[in-house]
């Protein structure tokens, strides 16, 4: 069962260990084919990285957040740290890495909302076990610890071994060799392509039950597979009947960072809306992600102080 205790602090703590990157985003009518050059319509520079995206999404929804990360010794790193501080993130363990550049993401977005992303990790690759050791007290006491796979795997594993609360792993970008961390996961959250890599199935709604069963066998307590506009499916060792949580259809503008919006919202609602069932919490996280795809940008598209629990989210038994 998920450990929903909030410790001794009055406000539950959400700690994100992960990546911070600067997004360089181009918008065009469609995505280019291999070797093709096309004319775009707009270029923007903004803050991103899966870890920071999830932290900002949680912060905007009222979460009490701390970030553990490494930024580069450049103007982007200095500006990013100040930005996180200004929006209310605890930046005690946001460190500038000497003589290393801040991570970047090159993003192309089509009019359909589809995107392509190339990441250069930069300082994100220097987040180490020493950073975990330095922030050990914070990690141990976190009510929710969020990790991803854009920073060194062994660092995230070390942190998950320490935490006593809800350990939420967003196993993205997709990779195969993460079996060691899965038994430490209270919640494993993946999209269809990530689930396909881990299960060696071509995962979609038709075989989601099989995928959930295979992922639960790895040792996770709860598995959530997000399905984009189709919502999400989930199952738990303690509530083994798989459910499909639906979401409202919208016309997407930019899908970049929608999965991160989901994860940040999920973490926040797990500790601030404990009276609701898990399917309602997942439905509310889907609502946040859905809102984010109707606007351009990543962190700029995340809603602020939203309470989506004024409606009943639809679900189906699988």
Between residues 182 and 297, the one the model is more confident about: 182
For 212, the token pair is: 């959930």
* 116 occurs within a structural domain: no
* 25 occurs within a structural domain: no
191 annotated binding-site participant? yes
* 108 occurs within a structural domain: no
Active site residues: 260
According to DSSP, residue 33 is labeled P
Helix (H) or strand (E) holding 91: strand 90-97
* 87 occurs within a structural domain: yes
Residue 2's pLDDT band (cuts 50, 70, 90): low
Structural domain of 231? 13-19+49-95+123-317
Task: State the total domains in the chain.
Answer: 1
What percent of the chain has pLDDT above 70? Answer: 97
Specify the 3-state DSSP secondary structure of 40. coil
103 annotated binding-site participant? no
Rounded Cα distance, 257 and 262, in Å: 9
pTM over 0.85: yes
pLDDT at 7 over 80: no
**What does the pLDDT read at residue 11?**
85
pLDDT (average), residues 168-187: 96
* 112 occurs within a structural domain: no
Instruction: Spell out the alpha helix ranges (H) of the chain.
Output: 50-60, 75-86, 129-134, 136-141, 153-162, 192-199, 208-216, 258-272, 278-292
236 annotated binding-site participant? no
Rounded Cα distance, 52 and 79, in Å: 14
pLDDT at 29 over 80: yes
Residue 6's pLDDT band (cuts 50, 70, 90): very low
Instruction: Report the 10 Å Cβ neighbour count for 133.
Output: 12
* 217 occurs within a structural domain: yes
**What does the pLDDT read at residue 316?**
94
Residue 4's pLDDT band (cuts 50, 70, 90): very low
Specify the 3-state DSSP secondary structure of 151. coil
21 annotated binding-site participant? yes
**What does the pLDDT read at residue 5?**
43
**What does the pLDDT read at residue 171?**
98
Q: What is the CATH number of the domain that holds 200?
A: 3.40.1190.20
* 186 occurs within a structural domain: yes
**What does the pLDDT read at residue 21?**
96
Query: Is the distance from CB of 182 to CB of 159 less than 8 angstroms?
Result: no
pLDDT (average), residues 181-199: 98
Residue-wise over 295-310: b if at least 16 C-beta within 10 A, else e? ebbbbebbbeebebbe
Residues contacting residue 103 through CB under 8 Å, at least 6 positions apart: 19, 20, 21, 22, 49, 72, 119, 120, 121, 122, 123, 124, 125, 150
* 164 occurs within a structural domain: yes
pLDDT digits 0-9 by tens, 215-270: 999 999 999 999 999 999 999 998 889 999 999 999 999 888 999 999 999 999 99
23 annotated binding-site participant? yes
Specify the 3-state DSSP secondary structure of 290. helix
pLDDT digits 0-9 by tens, 273-291: 999 999 999 999 999 999 9
Strand order in the sheet with 103-110: 42-48, 21-28, 103-110, 115-120
Residue 306's pLDDT band (cuts 50, 70, 90): confident
């Amino acid at each position: 069962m998920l450990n929903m205790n909030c410790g001794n602090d009055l406000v539950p703590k959400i700690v994100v260990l992960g990546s911070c990157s600067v997004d360089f985003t181009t918008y065009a009518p469609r995505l280019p084919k291999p070797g093709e050059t096309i004319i775009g319509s707009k270029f923007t520079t903004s803050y991103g990285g899966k870890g920071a995206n999830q932290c900002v999404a949680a912060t905007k929804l009222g979460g009490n957040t701390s970030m553990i990360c490494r930024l580069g010794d450049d103007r982007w790193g200095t500006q990013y740290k100040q930005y996180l501080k200004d929006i209310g993130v605890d930046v005690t363990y946001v460190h500038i890495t000497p003589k290393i550049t801040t991570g970047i993401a090159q993003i192309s977005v089509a009019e359909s909302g589809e995107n392509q992303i190339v990441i250069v990790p930069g300082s994100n690759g220097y987040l180490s076990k020493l950073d975990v050791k330095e922030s050990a007290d914070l990690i141990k006491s976190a009510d929710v610890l969020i990790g991803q796979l854009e920073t060194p795997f062994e660092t995230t594993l070390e942190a998950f071994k320490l935490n006593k609360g809800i350990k939420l792993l967003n196993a993205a970008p997709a990779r195969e060799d993460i079996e060691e961390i899965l038994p430490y996961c209270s919640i494993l959250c993946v999209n269809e392509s990530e689930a396909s890599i881990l299960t060696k199935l071509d995962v979609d709604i038709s075989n989601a039950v099989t995928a959930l069963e295979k992922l639960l066998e790895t040792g996770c307590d709860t598995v959530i597979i997000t399905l984009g506009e189709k919502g999400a499916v989930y199952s738990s060792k303690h509530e083994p009947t798989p459910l499909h949580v639906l979401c409202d259809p919208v016309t997407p503008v930019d899908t970049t960072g929608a999965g991160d919006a989901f994860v940040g919202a999920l973490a926040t609602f797990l500790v601030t809306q404990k009276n609701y069932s898990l399917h309602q919490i997942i439905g509310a996280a889907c609502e946040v992600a859905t809102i984010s795809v109707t606007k351009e940008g990543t962190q700029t598209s995340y809603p602020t102080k939203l309470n989506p629990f004024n409606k009943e989210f639809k679900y189906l038994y699988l």
